Structure 1
Amino acid sequence: MATAAVQTRIGSATPIWDKNRSWRVGEHCSLWVNGGVDVYACIVAHVSTAATQPRPGSPYWQFLGRR
């Protein structure tokens, strides 16, 4: 399955991931992890559930970096 190119610049106002939110391809989200913030980009449009939470290797998210 091909994925669209994703914007790689991390913004300063990246929204925090939450359940029951509609995510479009290219949108960024963030998660607090061990005192830092991991930033992911959506690579498949979806409505978020516990099963679609950003994590390494997720089919819905691409890890961009840590802030």
Structure 2
Amino acid sequence: GARMQEGSLSLMQMAKISSASYDYQSNKKLFYVSILTSPTTGGVTASFGMLGDIIIAEPNAYIAFAGKR
């Protein structure tokens, strides 16, 4: 995933890719499966990880938007 240190352009690309994936999936009536492994955190969770029609995660996987506080 993109990090703030990599710049705002990198973060914007995640939104563009997520949007393009959604449009492609909607127009072509495709099935999107997300497979999450530990750890899946941050932008990946927010953008790609939760877009799937079916979301599969390994048992006891650490999946979060933000780290431990």
Bucket of the pairwise TM-score, normalised by the shorter protein: under 0.3
User: Normalization by structure 2: what TM-score?
Assistant: 0.22
Q: Larger radius of gyration, structure 1 or 2?
A: 2
- Point out the structure with the larger strand share: 1
- Point out the structure with the larger helix share: 2
User: Normalization by structure 1: what TM-score?
Assistant: 0.22
